[in-house]
C-alpha cells in the first residue's frame, strides 16, 4: 500500500503512523523527521530548513521534493510506504504524482485525520517541542489551513480521500484507520 497521511499539527498523526507501520509493514517516510535529522546532523539542507521550521513556516517545495525523490528510490519503499507530513502543498502533490506516474506505482489512499482547531492548540501546547511555542503553533496552523487543506479537494477529486475522525482514544482512532486500510489494501 502507498498511503498519504494528512492532518494538522497536533492531530496525533505520529502516534497513528507508528501503529500503521507496525501493523501494515510499510516504510515510514516522515519529512518532519528527515528535516530534524538533517538539522541535527548540521547539513547545509538541515541548516536552511531549520530557519523555516523554527518559524512555523513550510520549508520551500524544491528542498522537500528532492528529499522525497531520493527517499522513494530506496528499495525499502517497494513494500509500500506511509508518507507522513508530505505532501503539504499542491506543488508537492503534483511533483509526487509525476514521480509515481513515472514509476507506474500510484497512491492507494489518502487518509485525512480530522481534528477541530480548538483541540489542536491545547494538544500542541502540552508537547514541549521547540516549534511548539504559542506563536509558532499559530503559524503552523495557519500554514496548514492555507497551504495544506487545499490538498483535500485535490485528492477528493481523484477519488483517493478518506477522512477519519481524529477525536477519541488512540485505539478508537486506530480502529477507524484499520477499517479504511483493510478495505483499500
Ligand atoms: P512535522 O514534524 O511534520 O510537523 O514537520 C515539522 C516542520 O518541518 C514543519 O513545521 C515544516 O517547517 C517542516 N516540514 C515538514 N514536512 C514538510 C513539507 N512536506 N513541506 C514543507 N515543510 C515541511
How many domains are there within the chain? 1
CATH number of the domain where residue 125 is located: 3.40.50.300
Specify whether the CB–CB gap between 27 and 76 falls below 8 A: yes
pLDDT at 124 (0 to 100): 81
Cβ-contact 4, 155 below 8 angstroms: yes
Mutate to test the pocket of ligand 1, among 7, 8, 18, 35 (most ligand atoms within 8 A of CB): 35
Residue 44 lies in a domain: no
Asked whether residue 65 is domain-assigned, the answer is: no
CA of 162 to the centre of ligand 1 (A): 22
Neighbour count for residue 136 (Cβ, 10 Å): 19
Range(s) of the domain holding residue 129: 2-26+79-177
C-beta of 71 in contact with ligand 1 (< 6 A): no
pLDDT single digits (tens) 147-169: 999 999 999 999 999 999 999 99
Peptide bond into 87 cis (omega under 30): yes
Per-residue pLDDT tens for 113-144?
999 988 888 888 777 777 778 889 899 999 99
- Is 46's pLDDT higher than 90? yes
Q: Is residue 62 part of a domain?
A: no
Confidence check: pLDDT of 104 > 90: yes
Ligand 1 atom, smallest distance to 131 CA: 10
Mutate to test the pocket of ligand 1, among 7, 33, 83, 88 (most ligand atoms within 8 A of CB): 88
Ligand 1 nearest atom to the CA of residue 60, by list position: 21
Residue 67 counted as domain residue? no
Cβ–ligand 1 contact at 31 (below 6 Å): yes
The Cα–Cα gap between 67 and 159 comes to 27
Amino acid at each position: 500500500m502507498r498511503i498519504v497521511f494528512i492532518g494538522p499539527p497536533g492531530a496525533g498523526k505520529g502516534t497513528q503512523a507508528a501503529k500503521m507501520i507496525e501493523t501494515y509493514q510499510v516504510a515510514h517516510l516522515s519529512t518532519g523527521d528527515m528535516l530534524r535529522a538533517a538539522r541535527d546532523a548540521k547539513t547545509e539542507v538541515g541548516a536552511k530548513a531549520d530557519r523555516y521550521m523554527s518559524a512555523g513556516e513550510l520549508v520551500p517545495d524544491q528542498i522537500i521534493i528532492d528529499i522525497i525523490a531520493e527517499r522513494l528510490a530506496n528499495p525499502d519503499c517497494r513494500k509500500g510506504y506511509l508518507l507522513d507530513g508530505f505532501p503539504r502543498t499542491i506543488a508537492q502533490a503534483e511533483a509526487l504524482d509525476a514521480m509515481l506516474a513515472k514509476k507506474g506505482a500510484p497512491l492507494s489512499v489518502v487518509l485525512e485525520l480530522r481534528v477541530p482547531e480548538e483541540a489542536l492548540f491545547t494538544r500542541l501546547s502540552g508537547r514541549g517541542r521547540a516549534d511548539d511555542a504559542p506563536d509558532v503553533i499559530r503559524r503552523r496552523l495557519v500554514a496548514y489551513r492555507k497551504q495544506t487543506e487545499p490538498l483535500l479537494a485535490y485528492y477528493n477529486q481523484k477519488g483517493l480521500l478518506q477522512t477519519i475522525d481524529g477525536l477519541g482514544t488512540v485505539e478508537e482512532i486506530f480502529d477507524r484507520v484499520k477499517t479504511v486500510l483493510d478495505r483499500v489494501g
